[in-house]
Chain A
């Protein structure tokens, strides 16, 4: 069995959902151990044990969360040097990719990003990588030793397998020279009512919404449906709505029961983050927009008229 190291991303002391998803696949293809860095690492180790980690290397130095990437890259590099894993897995998330990038450059081995699956084959690893918004799927053999692979959120279902991880203190003191990009303040902006990733209905808006002033129309529909509002990269880039709402390759990946794309053309950047939704409804002025070709129901029309009417109809149906 290959030895697989999973980088567990911690957020406020909790293991990120993507890290637990990775555990579900990792334990099928090898002997898994994990590394958890920062406050709460020991608690995280218990969770990781339940998800199949045989051992978890922990270090609770606060510097891991107060400085960007460098302390974590140092610690993982030291661990890789000592333990010589066959593969190191990261979630393809903003924070993890920064650590993975530095690690790969330091080890000089390269990496595979944006993978949706990994298998152990012929003494190595083969990854699946979606291209062109997920319309193509490439199989790639990892050449790196170790193979460093970043896997998209929502690629696997997290599940507990039962078990207890041996907790090992990672002897990796954070060097002063790595305490450079210092997070001095954290500001919360958006308070999500329903979390985008967990919502059973997601309503996303794109340029076709005309401007940020029309996004409340989507909020109204979302609250009628008990759903959450997302957005395309184009409108996030334009500053209409915060980054936290972006659905797509580098935004969030969602897999709701119903996805309603409003005024979104369906660029591949976007579709890769939502194409596994169970039902897709698209509302767009352009009948030729790519999103229409993947929607279960495509409505050609004026979103600014259809959305409020739909909100009223949903409310009426609920009350009737």
Chain B
């Protein structure tokens, strides 16, 4: 079974994000493999271990995204493709999906695994677009994946529980962090990753023409900020203070 896992380098989720002059999220702190993607890589590796095959990482980003890709390779992925192109700076979800689709098509995978959403954009729009462009069904919000021959079955998280959803491969799956605990890269894995291939391609290589972005930013303003309130150390009176606030808000 051939599995493609999409991966993205994102600003460290534990840092505070800032904006560049062109309103894009500052990539100064860009340093980590998206934690959601780590779960995708882990699930891909587990499926490979159970069913055989190959795990290929596909990413889009600047050249330094190789660092994040390298992490996925040291976890055990076999090789990677990185789409790098100056024309992709500030790409919207559709252009991102078109570029990824072009790169993934030439791999002809049985399964494409994506995180449900990235940690920086958090809109989750690329996976359904990618599924459409690849012409495959989407099994989304998966917290469990089972593969039996060409049949793929997931447990899809919903507001009040989960659904069992199945389809025939090829398919695209989005996974939540509940899918699998990402493994730590072993020393051996880190050493092995150094010699694994990261194939770098441009939009021209993929025959993708940039499209008009879905939106033009007109302005960015500070939203009405909540006034900072009172911060107190709990010296034993905090509970009384909270009760007063609850009473003032008329909920008790």
Q: Which residues of A does B touch, CB under 8 Å?
A: 68-70, 73, 92, 94, 97-102, 104-106, 108-114, 126-127, 130-132, 134-144, 148, 150, 180-192, 200-201, 225-227, 236-239, 242-244, 249-250, 257-258, 267-269, 275, 278-281, 287, 290, 292-302, 305-306, 309-310, 313-314, 317-318
Contact = CB atoms under 8 A, between A and B. Distances in A.
Which of B23, B156, B231, B249 has the most A CB atoms < 10 Å from its CB? B231
B223 interface: yes
A300 B234 contact: yes
Q: Is the interface of B mostly helix, strand, loop or mixed?
A: mixed
Contact of A102 (B128, B223, B234): B128
Interface of B: 13, 16-17, 19, 23, 92-95, 97, 116-117, 119, 122-133, 137-141, 143, 156-168, 171, 176-178, 211-223, 225-226, 228-234, 238-243, 245-252
B13 A267 contact: yes
9 contacts: A99-B128, A111-B93, A139-B221, A143-B212, A143-B213, A183-B165, A190-B161, A236-B178, A250-B117
| Chain A interface, >50% SS class | mixed
A257 B166 contact: no
Contact of A299 (B19, B223, B242, B251): B242
A306 B238 contact: yes
Given A102-B131, A114-B123, A181-B137, A134 B223 contact: yes
B19 A111 contact: no
Contacts of A226: 251
A102 B132 contact: yes
A181 B93 contact: no
A299 B241 contact: yes
A132 B17 contact: yes
A190 B160 contact: yes
A242 B170 CA distance: 29
The 10 tightest CB contacts between A and B, nearest first, are: A110-B214, A101-B128, A301-B234, A237-B177, A180-B137, A189-B161, A296-B229, A298-B231, A105-B132, A185-B164
